[in-house]
Amino acid sequence: MFLFKKIETVNDIKIAALVYSGGTDAAREKFIADALNPECTFFRFTHKEAEALSNSIAPDVIFIFSEAGRSRDKQFSLCQMLRSKGDERIIIFVANKRSDIGDSPLITSKGFDNYLVFGNDKSQIHDTIQWAILNRRRRNKFSLQFDDNPDKFYTVDGKGKVYDLNEGAANGSSYSPKEIVNNGISASELETLRCFEKVIQPLICENNVNKEFSNTIEEGEAVAQIRTKIHNVPTIGLVATVVKTDITKAMYSNTMNILINSVTLLSHRDNYTASHSARVFYYCSYIAEYMKPSEKRNFFRDLYLASILHDIGKIGVRDSVLLKPGKLEQVEFDYLATHPVKGYDLLQNYIFLKGAGELVRAHHERPDGNGYPDRLTEEKTPLGAYIISVADSFDAMTSSRPYRTAMDYDDAVREIRNNLGHQYHYAIGKAFLEIITPALVNKVLSNSQKPLSEISEEILGSLLNTEVQSNDDL
């Protein structure tokens, strides 16, 4: 790879290489020198010497001169050869007259950054070289516009390094635009561009020119739609125009409406499910608030959503088993025990519910490894699943069912205490026993009288705020 120094303006050019096919031309050299920095040093090379141009000279710009009345093929081949070796320096084609050049796109397609015509005045030469600098900086760099906002504009290279951006684009990071560019900050390090490496970068190739792509990504609590279109701009190269739209609220709300409606419909078959799901959510939220087991917002999001949806897999369970008034036969129990997997499979279809799905799958696992469906031991089971487990069990024990009456409060508490470390995670079960009181049970019963859809909206409202709300806000 050739050494490439960052050149911002014509005045940054300190070393220039002049490449001739035939003899040197003092007049054309002066015509270029007058437009450059007076301190610029010039080196002269034949085409053959230029083919072996090394980093020891390290010119900032290479001027390749045409030969009067001769084909441009030799100059074009030299430029293409240098580019094929990874030369990222500024290369300018110098012609005797405009007709020697042909189309501007032809020149850039051969790897040149711009062209000069002998006889241009000093200001034209200066501007031409400045455009060459800009074109080199942009070539094989990708222009990115985010949030459908022209005030958030970036130029990045193929590895995601930011080359240009404006003030609006730097918002949300801890850097100024100048610091981002000068320090070689990667696009993936910036808040708005975290998806570049995984989602956008693989799309930027010749095969995708004029194609449009849409992806949905998750960034922490947020869900965004990324629409990317690839263009081929002759003077720049490949350009990716990207629109990133925050669809978090709509995605969460629409998805939860569908799922909560499903749980509500399930309650028309089994009127226990909806109110039970609401109570489990409230117990889980009190346990989590008391223990504060994780500062990660995803923990609370996954727990809250999984707790209210933990039985959604029962949609796929036959009424003859789900509503059986007596004790289940072993084969029936095994069939009912598939509901965590059914729930997991359903939630995996939604990007922001994948974590919740893991808790739904594991909420009947036990620390002693005797749970279901995967017989996971304590170290392999998500902590949130154990929170749901103790809340689910306590509410099930203290609720009446067609085949049995509700267990007394004290008996249910004793059952939890006697099974700590076996059926229930010791620390979580202990925390539950420290907070549970008849008054709290009554509070949960009162709160759970609200429609499940209203509780779901409260959960989403708390999760979409910048901070996790306290239980009094849920």
Element (H, E) at 144: strand 141-145
SS3 401: strand
Taking residues 192-205, report their average pLDDT: 80
Alpha-carbon distance 368 to 182, whole Å? 55
pLDDT, tens digit, 9 for 90 and up, residues 144-184: 766 556 667 777 776 777 877 777 777 767 788 778 877 77
User: Which DSSP letter does residue 158 get?
Assistant: T
Confidence of residue 4 (pLDDT cuts 50, 70, 90): very low
Between 71 and 143, whose confidence is greater? 71
Confidence of residue 265 (pLDDT cuts 50, 70, 90): confident
Which has the closest alpha carbon to 299: 425, 385, 421?
A: 385
432-442 burial, b for 16+ CB within 10 Å, e for fewer? bbeebeeeebe
In this predicted structure, what is the pLDDT of residue 473?
40
CA dihedral 227, 134, 73, 105 (to 10 degrees): 50
In this predicted structure, what is the pLDDT of residue 471?
41
SS3 154: strand
Confidence of residue 236 (pLDDT cuts 50, 70, 90): low
Taking residues 395-406, report their average pLDDT: 86
In this predicted structure, what is the pLDDT of residue 467?
38
pLDDT at 330 over 90: yes
Alpha-carbon distance 59 to 56, whole Å? 9
Taking residues 342-346, report their average pLDDT: 95
Alpha-carbon distance 385 to 366, whole Å? 10
Average pLDDT, the chain: 83
pLDDT at 53 over 70: no
CATH topology of 10-136 equal to that of 141-246?
Answer: no
Q: How many helices (H) does the chain have, and how many strands (E)?
A: 19, 11
pLDDT at 1 over 50: no
Which has the closest alpha carbon to 460: 323, 262, 260, 321?
A: 260
Beta bridge partners of residue 404, listed in sequence order:
401
Instruction: Give, in order, the Cα–Cα distances in Å from 377 to each of 188, 265, 364, 372.
Output: 37, 34, 11, 10
Count of other CB atoms within 10 angstroms of residue 407: 17
Alpha-carbon distance 16 to 77, whole Å? 20
The two three-digit tokens of residue 353, written as one number? 């519910």
In this predicted structure, what is the pLDDT of residue 34?
83
> What percentage of the chain carries pLDDT values higher than 70?
87
pLDDT, tens digit, 9 for 90 and up, residues 18-35: 998 777 778 878 888 888
β-strand 162-165 against 212-219: which pairing, if any? unpaired
In this predicted structure, what is the pLDDT of residue 323?
84
pLDDT at 138 over 70: no
Between 18 and 218, whose confidence is greater? 18
In this predicted structure, what is the pLDDT of residue 469?
39
Q: Where are the alpha helices (DSSP H) in 159-247?
A: 167-170, 177-182
* Structural domain boundaries in the chain: 10-136, 141-246, 249-473
- Highest-confidence range of 240-254, 283-297, 401-415, by mean pLDDT? 401-415
Q: Give the gyration radius of the chain's Cα atoms.
A: 34
Q: Would the pTM of this model clear 0.75, i.e. be above it?
A: no
In this predicted structure, what is the pLDDT of residue 214?
94
In this predicted structure, what is the pLDDT of residue 472?
41
- Highest-confidence range of 125-139, 319-333, 399-413, 438-452, by mean pLDDT? 438-452
Element (H, E) at 194: none
pLDDT at 108 over 80: no
DSSP-assigned letters across all residues of 58-115: --SEEEEE--TTS-SHHHHHHHHHHHHTT--SEEEEEESSGGGT--HHHHHHTT-SEE
Taking residues 313-336, report their average pLDDT: 90
User: Tell me: domain 249-473, CATH 1.10.3210.10, correct?
Assistant: yes
Fold of 141-246: Beta-Lactamase (3.30.450)
In this predicted structure, what is the pLDDT of residue 438?
97
In this predicted structure, what is the pLDDT of residue 234?
59
In this predicted structure, what is the pLDDT of residue 7?
73
Beta bridge partners of residue 43, listed in sequence order:
17
Q: What is the largest CA-CA distance in the chain?
A: 105
Alpha-carbon distance 235 to 140, whole Å? 10
Between 306 and 165, whose confidence is greater? 306
Confidence of residue 103 (pLDDT cuts 50, 70, 90): low
Least confident of 70-84, 165-179, 241-255, 388-402: 165-179
Q: Name the CATH architecture for the domain at 10-136.
A: 3-Layer(aba) Sandwich (3.40)
Element (H, E) at 137: helix 122-138
283-320 burial, b for 16+ CB within 10 Å, e for fewer? bbbbbbbebebeeeebbbbbbbbbbbbbbbbbbebeee
In this predicted structure, what is the pLDDT of residue 135?
76
Taking residues 397-416, report their average pLDDT: 90
